[in-house]
Structure 1
Amino acid sequence: MIFSPDESMSCAGYGSVPSSDIGAAVRYNDDACNGSGGRNAKSHHPHHSYELNRHMSLFDLVSVGVGATVGSGVFVLTGLIAHTLSGPAVSVSWLIAGLAACASGLCYAELGGRFPSVGSTYVYAKETMGDCAAVIAGAASAVARSWGDKVVEYMKTFEDEDKTSSLYQFFISTLDPGYGINFGAFFVSLVAVLLLLDGVKESKHVTNFFTILKVFLVIFISVTSMILVKKENLIPFVPPEFGAGGVIRGSTSSFFGYIGFDGRYMIHLSQCGFGLGITYSKSRSFKEICCLSGEAIDPSRNVPRAIIITLLIVTSLYVVASLGLAGMVPYQDISEASGFPDGFRYRGYNWTADLTALGEITVLPLCVLVTIMAQPRLNFTMAMDGVLPPFFAEVDEKQNLKKGTKVAGAVMIIIATVVPFAHLDDLISSGILIAFTITDASIILVRHTSPHDEPFKLERLLIVFHVLSLVSGLLFKNCISEEETGHAVRVMTLTSCAGSLIIGNLIRTKCPRVDEADPGFFLTPAVPILPLCGCFVNILLITRMELKSLIVLFGYLVFALLGHLYNLHRGRLPAENIVEISRFDDAWWR
């Protein structure tokens, strides 16, 4: 139904949203506020949706995806991973990350076509209360902070006589004043927010232009570096001081390059009863392509296509570029902060280094622009559920979420200015891996079901599979980090891996598939094998993270869950949600 100007909307929490502000732009399903829909993940309809002008073509969606993902990964992390973690095998790290991302990306492709709604499907407060603007802004500010550091790094390559000029000293002191403050990040974040205040329709032309420029830049540095490859720089391909553990940990950091997909569709896993309150863990990093599906032309077809095309383009660019860098310069001499520009200078190609550095500075801010696009739409959805104040749902005369953009942008700018890049990288990567894992599991719950005589068998098997995968990852971490691993540890590792295979086979054979004849959208192939492989790889990579990053992430999840329970206690959620949650908790373990 369409809300008329004299009606108002009131779900739970902060109260009603005047429909006069949104009636022209938003269309809701009849069950949007009564809690009657959206609970069954196998439905083809989200809990609620709204429609803005559908103006995003397939090319626009691919531009958003590529623009979001190709950036700090190749320009910032490649040199760091090659120098400190993987050596010449940095390309293998990117490939492992790409394959795991591909498994999850195909799941996103189906869910993006199955539930093509703007702002995704954050329905219940137990999911949405975990999502705060600061963490979304953290994903964007990691790139924004990197941009400011890039400008300073480039200016420090000037000739000595240039460094004595007052103009040079002014820029250095402004961009890098110390105390952990970076005004370069402040500037680029501010510009991105100002562009988005005019709306996605207006800013997409900027996105398309800079995405094309960015792809050409990566192709240029890849081809040039491959021409300069020396075979001796690639030997040994996996340095003994890093070993296989370094390659795997490098792939964990490489996941920062695959944050352009929207894990918010994993909410449908929670609607099946899995994850309960933590499905929101880190989905805010995957927001660009799927979150714009409500503004996409023919989203059921174009959103999956855009995700798959983006995966192919991004993985190819990362693998080729990283292989070129590792072959052009000995890994011991690769700069951690400015890999490609310093690599070209190392080989005497100063003009190529300057062109690459300027190109990076020019195109890297695009990641900030496309990363912050989704936040106002998420705030809008949460405001519709009464979780956030009503002003987040206000739409101006151009159907833009201007107030939501201002608030989200302000938080992003603050974090980008004061939080160092290094403090965000591992935290984002570990959160992304959890989001991938939950999304993979959500596809299994959508496409399979428990036997009639054994309710919740599928859910229980998935829990056991994830526990065994975690044990396997921890044991495998011990095997590759210790030079001499005991026989018992190796046996336990193989046993837990075998247990994961057995459980996966039980899911495949004992849990019936849900038949969908001609669903009208992309279907993930090889379910449940492909999603289970994605889950296993993701958990394996999670165990390779630094302990302090995992502790911070765990603290965030606990905070999100406590926030959700607090709102249940205060009655901010509709009563029927509380009843369903209690019933579900009892039923799982009967």
Structure 2
Amino acid sequence: MGGIIRRKNSLFVKKPCSLPEKGSADDGLKRSLGPLALLLLGVGSIIGAGIYVLTGAAAASFAGPGVLFSFVIAGFACVFAGLCYSELASSMPVTGSAYVYAYSTLGELPAWILGWLLVLEYGVAGSLVAVGFSGYFVSLLASFGIVIPEALSTPFVQSIPTSGGYSFVAGGGINLIAAIAVLIMATPLLFGLRNFAIVNSSIVLLKILVLLVFVAFGFSSIIPDHFSPLIPENEGGFAYGWQGVFRAASMIFFAYIGFETVSTAAAEAKKPQRDLPIGILGSLAVCTLIYMAVAAVLIGIVPFRELNVPDPLALAVDHIGKPWLLFFVKVGAVIGLTSILMSTCYGQSRIFFAMARDGLLPQAFMRLHKKHQTPWVGTIIIASCMAFAAGALPITLLGDLISIGVAATFSIVCLSVISLRNTAPELERPFKVPFGGFRIRGYWIGYVPAFGIFMCLFMITPLILDLVSKAQNGNPLPVLLLAGFIGVGASIYVFYGYRNSRMGSVESIEVENGVQVISGARS
């Protein structure tokens, strides 16, 4: 028997590749999702605020008609990350997604950093979607003569358009509609994933139908002059020009994260090695096509400077002049965004479930309901935090925070593929990233993951420069929120995760008859 000695409480202790799969088998979650359900889960997660809300804000504030290029750039960057996710998910089909991948390849501290970054992806993304939901819901109620006071449908922090982009000011209201929406949509997750999958599949089909109808009826109303110039002249900062195109791409980058939600369901997939690549890459391809079609029609109908509203698709249909279509789109948007709220809350709860299972978060996040076998306590905590953010913050600020988390997460995932190929070349990989790679002093570096890292850094650069510029010009709120988020995460790890880590207390890992056996772990 050969032993691999691990220092107790090492910051970079790694979880052996066989352990995630075993832990997944023992966590009590049911394998009930097939390839179609995973594909719909991904589509349901991708199609949401990115197309229903942020397309308008990105065009109005940054790119103009050039937002079409922004979608191409963002989607192109996601392809490389999607391929890396597919390899890792098929090799390690476990709950926890990128967090578990990093734990097995890079070590505990990088895994914690990634797990905490995923809060920006899922928790904050759910808050953003709730804000978009609020805009369409208020507009829908207005169609029936029901007027919601502005103080109950606008966030405490408001985004104000300025030359070069936008700034933030404190308002007097709170988006109570968005906060309530989060809590209501998280409720089905408490009663079992099967119920969630059935509801989600129905909503996704309706959502796609709404967008296709919008494209079909809106195509004939496109005004070609709205695309001229395709890239408006820069007006300073990141307002238009190619600077604005790339800034808009960094803003809407997060809108493609739905394929990652598929990987968080690995422990509940019937045949993960086969089904996960189908769900991840399939949903990414389908949604990219839908995004481009809808964005083109939206820009073609409404002058881009008028699109900085919470319900741009409704505004476009109003220009068409078909009352029945306006009502149909509003209803579809309201119902469609509910699936995103459920998907983001679902993804965040499963990531925290995996982190709690490893001792890095309190055990409440992995406490399963006796009857429904769902992490119900963690779901309630997460939904409450999402509701608070949805009520207080504007959609533009939420979008920027999410994109930072997405770019960092995708980069670490790409790096994990490179690391795992070198440390565990014998690991079975039902799906491998294409195009091979090259070696530097014997260390394998894949073309796809390397370019994925480059594209993620390329995506995040305009965003970071813009946030720094805002801070220097008297708008430090985004930087302060990001710094506070990092500080809270560091505190949780130092005072809880580091002390209670299950793998950190492992003193040795022995290999006996091909099976890895932990010794010295906490009871």
Q: Is 1:289 aligned to 2:207, yes or no?
A: no
Change (3 A) 1:562 1:362: closer
Name which of structure 1's ranges 182-191 and 312-321 shifts more when overlaid on structure 2. 182-191
> Counterpart of 1:240?
233
Letter in 1 for 2:192: G
Q: Is 1:359 aligned to 2:335, yes or no?
A: no
Identity in percent: 27
Change (3 A) 1:446 1:172: same
Structure 1 residue 175, shift from structure 2 partner:
4.5
C-alpha distance in 2 between matches for 1:331 and 1:176 = 22
> Counterpart of 1:426?
400
Letter in 2 for 1:227: S
**Residues 374-393 of structure 1, C-alpha deviation per residue, up to 9 Å, x if partnerless?**
23333332332223333333
> Counterpart of 1:564?
493
**Residues 98-144 of structure 1, C-alpha deviation per residue, up to 9 Å, x if partnerless?**
00011101111111111101234545763337639975432211111
Conserved? CA contact 1:64–1:207, under 8 Å? yes
Structure 1 residue 225, shift from structure 2 partner:
2.3
**Residues 383-432 of structure 1, C-alpha deviation per residue, up to 9 Å, x if partnerless?**
32223333333321332222222222222223223333233110111111
Conserved? CA contact 1:430–1:553, under 8 Å? no
**Residues 486-510 of structure 1, C-alpha deviation per residue, up to 9 Å, x if partnerless?**
xxxxxxxxxxxxxxxxxxxxxxxxx
Structure 1 residue 43, shift from structure 2 partner:
4.0
Alignment of 1:339-418 (within 5 A): 339-395=312-368, 396-418=370-392
RMSD: 3.2
> Counterpart of 1:131?
116
> Counterpart of 1:199?
192
Change (3 A) 1:347 1:384: closer
> Counterpart of 2:412?
438
C-alpha distance in 1 between matches for 2:118 and 2:231 = 40
Q: Is 1:314 aligned to 2:298, yes or no?
A: no
> Counterpart of 1:106?
83
What TM-score do you get using the length of structure 1 for normalisation? 0.69
Letter in 2 for 1:148: S
Change (3 A) 1:446 1:382: closer
Q: Is 1:303 aligned to 2:276, yes or no?
A: yes
Unaligned runs of 5+ in 1: 1-30, 263-287, 450-513, 581-590
Match of 1:553 among 464, 475, 482: 482
Name which of structure 1's ranges 206-215 and 370-379 shifts more when overlaid on structure 2. 370-379
Conserved? CA contact 1:131–1:560, under 8 Å? yes
C-alpha distance in 2 between matches for 1:568 and 1:371 = 24
More strand by share: 2
Structure 1 residue 373, shift from structure 2 partner:
0.7
C-alpha distance in 2 between matches for 1:202 and 1:334 = 36
> Counterpart of 1:337?
310
Name which of structure 1's ranges 209-218 and 174-183 shifts more when overlaid on structure 2. 174-183
> Counterpart of 2:441?
none
Match of 2:58 among 81, 85, 94: 81
> Counterpart of 1:452?
none
**Residues 550-584 of structure 1, C-alpha deviation per residue, up to 9 Å, x if partnerless?**
6643553455345434558757566567999xxxx
Change (3 A) 1:577 1:146: farther
Unaligned runs of 5+ in 2: 156-170, 235-239, 437-445, 469-477, 510-523
Match of 2:450 among 519, 527, 532: 532
What TM-score do you get using the length of structure 2 for normalisation? 0.77
C-alpha distance in 2 between matches for 1:133 and 1:246 = 26
Alignment of 1:10-25 (within 5 A): none
Match of 1:147 among 110, 133, 137: 133
Structure 1 residue 446, shift from structure 2 partner:
2.1
> Counterpart of 2:297?
324
> Counterpart of 1:491?
none
Aligned length: 449
Conserved? CA contact 2:435–2:448, under 8 Å? yes
Structure 1 residue 146, shift from structure 2 partner:
1.8
Which SS does the other structure have where 2:20 is aligned?
Answer: coil
Relative contact order higher in (CA < 8 Å, ≥ 6 apart): 2
Q: Is 1:188 aligned to 2:188, yes or no?
A: no
**Residues 452-474 of structure 1, C-alpha deviation per residue, up to 9 Å, x if partnerless?**
xxxxxxxxxxxxxxxxxxxxxxx
Max radius of gyration: which structure?
1
C-alpha distance in 1 between matches for 2:52 and 2:381 = 29
C-alpha distance in 2 between matches for 1:336 and 1:353 = 16
> Counterpart of 2:160?
none
Structure 1 residue 326, shift from structure 2 partner:
1.5
> Counterpart of 1:96?
73
